[in-house]
């Protein structure tokens, strides 16, 4: 990292990066992010969450207005007021044709601004929550809707059986990543947090080299490689840490605070 470099935009993942299992931003980190944004360096949330879930994090930040990259880069909004400025979709029908043969697999597609369309009920408990309204629709109806992001989740199958189902999907030209045990995220090939953030940097007259980005999961790999400085959490898998320019302490030990202190005092 050259001595003259300074970040002009900070991009932060949500889960595991600025919020924990309680879905709250720790107070010291919240204070720091607010000070950075108020000083004129935009803080942008770049998350796999759909807007109904991302809004819970954005509201905690409480900025007068901010950019949010949702659905792993497929959707970009400004808020408040809510304005969707970019949204790329794909045809889910070929994938759903395969999923039909796996009756325990739940399909979820965003119902923008409201919640999700679901092929079957989603358990309300557990670490994998889908916020907002849940509208149960048939697979036929779901296959007819362009999707910004599709979630495949199986609460009953073994990991091996779920992986076998994923292996049958033709994911050519699509952006996809594992979101957890028996959870898979799929979006357009034009998605990706790096592409979503490019929409933001272009609007602000910046480039990827101006960005300090933080993440901890597979869906952050492209963003960390794209950014001028990509930083992984100490909790992140080895593959994520390997693409990063630096690694912070684990989330429970302060996470990204030390890296933010380096650049913003």
3-state secondary structure (DSSP) of residue 239: helix
Given this model, what pLDDT does residue 8 score? Answer: 98
3-state secondary structure (DSSP) of residue 107: strand
- Give domain 93-188's CATH number out of 3.30.1240.10, 3.40.50.150, 3.30.413.10, 3.30.1330.40: 3.30.1240.10
pTM: 0.91
Beta bridge partners of 116: 110, 134
Q: Fill in the DSSP letter of residue 253.
A: G
Q: Do the Cβ atoms of 213 and 223 come closer than 8 Å?
A: yes
Q: Do the Cβ atoms of 67 and 42 come closer than 8 Å?
A: yes
User: Could you give the angle at the alpha carbon of 51 between the alpha carbons of 213 and 15, nearest 5°?
Assistant: 45
Given this model, what pLDDT does residue 113 score? Answer: 86
**Judging by beta carbons within 10 Å of its beta carbon (0-12, 13-18, 19+), is residue 84 exposed, middle or buried?**
middle
Given this model, what pLDDT does residue 174 score? Answer: 95
Q: Where are the domains of the chain?
A: 9-87+191-264, 93-188
Given this model, what pLDDT does residue 33 score? Answer: 98
The DSSP code sequence of 126-188 is SS----SEEEE--HHHHHTS-BSEEEEEESSS-HHHHHHHHHHS--TTEEEEEEETTEEEEEE
- Give domain 9-87+191-264's CATH number out of 3.40.50.1000, 2.20.28.10, 3.40.50.1820, 3.30.479.30: 3.40.50.1000
Mean pLDDT by 10 residues, the chain (265 residues): 84 97 95 98 96 95 98 96 97 97 96 93 79 95 95 95 97 90 93 97 98 96 98 96 98 97 95
């Amino acid at each position: 990292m050259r001595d003259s470099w300074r970040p002009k935009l900070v991009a932060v993942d949500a889960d595991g990066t600025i919020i924990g299992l309680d879905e709250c931003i720790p107070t010291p980190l919240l204070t720091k992010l607010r000070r950075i944004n108020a000083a004129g360096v935009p803080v942008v949330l770049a998350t796999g969450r759909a807007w109904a879930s991302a809004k819970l994090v954005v509201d905690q930040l409480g900025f007068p207005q901010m950019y949010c990259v949702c659905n792993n880069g497929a959707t970009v909004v400004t808020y408040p007021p809510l304005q969707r400025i970019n949204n790329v979709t794909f045809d889910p029908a070929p994938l759903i044709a395969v999923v039909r043969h796996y009756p325990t697999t739940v399909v979820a597609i965003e119902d923008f601004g409201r919640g999700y369309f679901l092929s079957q009920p989603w358990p309300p408990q557990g670490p994998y929550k889908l916020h907002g309204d849940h509208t149960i629709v048939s697979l036929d109806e779901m296959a007819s809707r362009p999707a910004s992001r599709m979630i495949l989740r199986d609460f009953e199958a073994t990991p091996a059986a779920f992986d076998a189902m994923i292996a049958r999907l033709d994911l050519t030209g699509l952006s996809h990543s594992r979101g957890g045990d028996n959870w898979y995220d799929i979006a357009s090939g034009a998605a990706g947090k790096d592409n979503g953030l490019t929409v933001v940097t272009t609007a602000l007259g910046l480039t990827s080299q101006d960005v300090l980005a933080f993440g901890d999961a597979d869906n952050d790999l492209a963003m960390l490689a794209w950014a001028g400085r990509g930083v992984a959490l100490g909790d992140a898998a080895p593959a994520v840490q390997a693409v990063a320019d630096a690694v912070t302490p684990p989330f429970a030990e302060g996470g990204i605070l030390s890296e933010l202190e380096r650049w913003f005092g």
